[in-house]
Copies of this chain bind each other. A is one copy, B any other.
Amino acid sequence: MPSLDLTTTSIDLTRQLCDIESVSGDEKVVADEIWAVLTAAPHLDLFRDGDAIVARTNLGRERRVVIAGHIDTVPINANVPTRYETIDDVEYLWGRGTVDMKGGCAVQLKLAVELSEPLVDVTWVWYDHEEVSDALNGLGRLSRVRPDLLAADFAILMEPSNASVEGGCNGNLRAEIRTFGLRSHSARSWLGDNAIHKAAPILDILAGYEAREVEVDGLVYREGLNAVGISGGVAGNVIPDEAMVHVNYRFAPSRSADEAVAHITELFGDFEVTIVDLAAGARPGLDAPLAQEFLAAVGGTAAPKYGWTDVARFSALGIPAVNYGPGDPQKAHADDERVAVREITECERGLRAWLTA
């Protein structure tokens, strides 16, 4: 007997999913529970790889959509079990995973079981290890072991986006910019060559940088170039021979990963540049017919997604993809993570309307 109760609301189902702790690497119990309720739905073909689950309708529809969400969370910080809170007359479900992203997972699960005849074929995906290193990501693993199962005309990732549609995502690059000098005793600093002083132009470039706003497929992406770390120094009486500025560049999806690297390499051409992280963005793909229909069904105005999400994986597979899920992304990972419960209901309504209208 599955312990998840799907006869209740998607809000309550969110609470049930959150109260089963599933920090990255520890998703087995919640994956087993989801698997158990899916096996009771005869219209779904199931596949499981580790703790990633794929449930597909096979109705012979002309078009197929992937609707996906990750089941892992960042570590618990005394914020499980969940509770309901009302703040300024808004009702919230409080606790780890309520925003990122078991609200989306609950909506998927309820609709996957209830909608036996959606108007498009649907590939429902719940996956593991999204909050940790890229190499472990369950969606990435599925795309390598069973790419056929992810084939689709459109994809919706239920990452938190305040229950509105956020298209594509910015790319993400991190680089270490280094300067070098020569050590000496600081009482005789003229015998050395101060590497920290040499980092002044790096900070000047960053402080003076004007980040672009770039329109891509009708959405305006705002870029950002920032120092996220700086280090240097040997001891209080030593002229330092090395300094490092850790730079993070968020770039619009109109710019390729290679172009982003070229931009940073040119900007900091006088210094040693080491790229330590690089992920291309994703174009919003809102010109796809399915995307247009989806937008019309859920209502509201599409906005750009600034943070990098797994929509970029779909983009890399040639599948237009958007973010659409309950919860304020600024509350993701926060100790006071909480979702306005009406956004869970709204996402369920929007998806149900589109899949059955």
Question: Do A307 and B204 touch (CB < 8 A)?
Answer: no
Chain A residues touching B, range: 35 or more
Q: Are B307 and A226 in contact (CB under 8 A)?
A: no
Q: Which residues of A (178-210) have their CB < 8 Å from a CB of B?
A: 185-190, 194, 196-200, 203-204, 206-207
Q: Are A186 and B231 in contact (CB under 8 A)?
A: no
- Is A222 among interface residues, defined by CB-CB distance under 8 A? yes
Chain A interface, >50% SS class:
mixed
- A6 to B: closest C-beta gap in Å: 34
Tell me whether A170 is interfacial, beta carbon within 8 Å.
yes
Q: Is A140 an interface residue (CB 8 A)?
A: no
* Closest-CB distance, A304 to chain B (whole angstroms): 11
Q: Are B200 and A207 in contact (CB under 8 A)?
A: yes
Residue A300 interfacial (CB < 8 Å): no
From 235 to 255 in chain A, residues with beta carbon under 8 angstroms from any chain B beta carbon are 235-240, 243, 245-246, 248, 250
Contact between chains at B229 and A230 (CB < 8 Å): no
**Residues from chain B with Cβ under 8 Å of A198 in the complex:** 207
B248 in contact with A186 (CB, 8 Å): yes
The 8 closest A-B pairs by CB, nearest first: A229-B233, A200-B203, A189-B224, A187-B307, A196-B227, A197-B207, A200-B207, A187-B306
Q: Beyond the given A200-B207, A226-B239, please list 16 additional residue pairs across the A-B interface where CB-CB is below 8 A.
A: A174-B236, A185-B330, A186-B224, A188-B306, A189-B224, A194-B206, A194-B226, A196-B245, A197-B226, A200-B203, A200-B204, A228-B237, A228-B240, A229-B233, A230-B232, A236-B246
